[in-house]
A = this chain, B = another copy of it.
Amino acid sequence: MSAGAGEGRRRSRRSGGHGANTRGAGGAVRQLPWEIPRNSDAPTEPLTPEQVQAVHGGAMRVLEEIGIEFLNDEARGVLAAAGCQVQPGASNVRMDRGLVMEKVALVPSSFTITPRNPERRIVIGDGHMVFGNVSSPPNCADLDRGRRPGTRDSFQDLMKLTQHFNCIHFSGGYPVEPVDLHASVRHLDCLYDKLTLTDKVSHAYSLGPERVEDAMEMVRIAAGLSHEEFESTPRMYTNINSSSPLKHDWPMLDGAMRLARRGQPVIVTPFTLAGAMAPVTLAGAVTQSVAEALAAIVLLQCVRPGVPCAMGSFTSNVDMRTGSPAFGTPEYIRATQMSGQMARFYGLPLRASNACAANTPDSQSAWESAFSLWAAVSSGVNMVYHAAGWLEGGLCASYEKFVMDCETLQQIIVYMKPVPASADDIAVDAIAEVGPDGHFFGCQHTQARYENAFYQPFLSDWSNFESWQERGAIETPQRANRIWKQVLADFQAPPLDEAVSEELAAFVERRKREGGAPTDF
């Protein structure tokens, strides 16, 4: 888990720390210092041990009797060689539980990912929980400009927010799809922006060999690594979604295998909306999700035994009258908890999301997101995708929601810290000293602790009504609006060696000249 001696090699002009803790240090927003939180709560377990076995048995029957479609010849070849049942000319692959459990046992229960700034290394698993920005919405919105398709400008804005907030530990997919960049070269500009505007863990979309290879190369260049150093430990990751029910598509498998071969982690996240792409029952939807995730993980363990993988949970329900997906619902919480039980059963790290269905950063968005975060904490989730900025079931990245979510993420981080309960904390002496007629503010026990006793929010307004009204009765989204503007106005990109920056730019230039990635349009 050491950062590797070679990593600092080309950082001679780095100007030092990255200002992780801006509390009181001139930053736009008082915030918590960078840290990788650890969740000490026992997970909530709606399934009995027998039911866990039954879900496992169901998933094994899916893999053994029904099979999964692998729409990728190379993947099927790998699986056939490993002993799976593959029929020539057909995409269906069946695998028996012995093989599945043998391969799944190879997955490390936790792993690190080290970005270009090794101080931003994250841990996936081992009780830790890390948060990433919203990924992949086609639209963005803010209170001033309304809702609009994403552009490079808004992409950069959201990457700056991603970098600024210490509670965002990694960068997921594009926080908004910049449709003003042609799809053939979009990944080059986006990766360049991600790697220069942030120094946090980055991600590659598994959307074609060129994009995947370019992303790995750019992450390598940005970190000043040799190819060997790049492959020596996880530096980035990809997330693949099955095409539920029961299908893994070509580009996702291709990208996952490319990363796996170079020792880079793959998160496998079936998108199993109960009643649509999965059974209407939560137990059925989770069973199918588990089967789909394990199938891809088996493939990746065949490609490179021991490569880091995580299981993703994206099981939720739909509105059965309209088909609209729902998030942060009672069903979503339970499905995530059940997925957590299954992930622990297989010894796999778990990914989930901070999702909501609301169309605007109002109270519905807040309770749906709070329930999604509750799901994450109570399920022992290790990696929370879409942790800040998500609206509309993922179709919109909201600037204000991003800030609101960072407020609640900070609260979750504080929540997860152990509660001290020593004799000194139990404070009988202070209770005796203050007595029935006193007040605790003045006593020594309080004075010694008050500055750091409690979490101080940067967005919540705890003032009384009169004072709140005097200051203009500003509601939460409007306060968030002010904050993101301040963050963007104050933004300074993290240090990057000029030679590295030039090498990255030259790579982008060359690959653009070569045409980037092929597109269908």
A→B interface (CB under 8 Å): 40-42, 44-48, 51, 54-55, 57-58, 61-62, 65-66, 68-69, 92, 139, 147, 245-247, 274-284, 287-288, 291, 317-326, 329-331, 333-334, 338, 357-371, 374, 378, 392-393, 395-396, 404, 407-408, 411-412, 414-415, 418-428, 430-432, 434-436, 438-441, 445-446, 449-451, 453-456, 459-465, 468-469, 473, 475-477
Contacts and interface: CB of A to CB of B under 8 A. Distances in A.
A392 B465 contact: yes
Contacts of A66: 428, 431-432, 435
Contacts of A334: 415, 419
A54 B426 CA distance: 8
Contacts of A465: 139, 147, 359, 392, 395-396
Contacts of A366: 362-367, 370
A415 B333 contact: yes
A427 B364 contact: no
B362 A476 contact: yes
Contact of A55 (B280, B329, B395, B421): B421
B320 A434 contact: no
A246 B435 contact: yes
B362 A276 contact: no
9 contacts: A41-B46, A62-B431, A275-B446, A279-B430, A281-B426, A282-B421, A329-B455, A330-B411, A333-B415
Contacts of A364: 366, 459-461, 476
A95 B250 CA distance: 74
A180 B101 CA distance: 71
A320 B431 CA distance: 19
Contacts of A419: 46-47, 282-283, 334, 338
Nearest to A395: B465
A6 to B, nearest CB: 40
B427 A279 contact: yes
A7 to B, nearest CB: 35
Given A247-B436, A331-B455, A362-B477, A421 B275 contact: no
Given A362-B362, A415-B334, A421-B54, A280 B455 contact: no
Contact of A42 (B42, B275, B359, B411): B42
B363 A361 contact: yes
Contacts of A54: 421, 423, 426
Nearest to A424: B281
Contacts of A395: 464-465
B280 A453 contact: yes
A371 B411 contact: yes
B283 A427 contact: yes
Nearest to A364: B476
The 9 closest A-B pairs by CB, nearest first: A284-B427, A370-B370, A366-B366, A363-B366, A330-B415, A279-B427, A58-B426, A283-B425, A283-B421
A499 B276 CA distance: 56
B464 A428 contact: no
A70 B306 CA distance: 66
A441 B42 contact: no
Given A66-B432, A280-B450, A330-B414, A55 B338 contact: no
Contacts of A274: 440, 453-454
A114 B48 CA distance: 35
Nearest to A40: B46
Contact of A453 (B281, B412, B423): B281
B283 A453 contact: no
Contacts of A463: 322, 324, 359
A323 B318 CA distance: 44
Contacts of A318: 454
B440 A277 contact: yes
Contacts of A423: 54, 58
Nearest to A41: B44
Contact of A421 (B51, B362, B374, B455): B51
A42 B41 contact: no
Of the candidates A42, A418, A450, A460, the one having the most CB atoms from chain B within 10 angstroms of its own CB is A460
A426 B378 contact: no
Contacts of A317: 453-454
A473 B391 CA distance: 14
A153 to B, nearest CB: 21
Of the candidates A57, A275, A321, the one having the most CB atoms from chain B within 10 angstroms of its own CB is A275
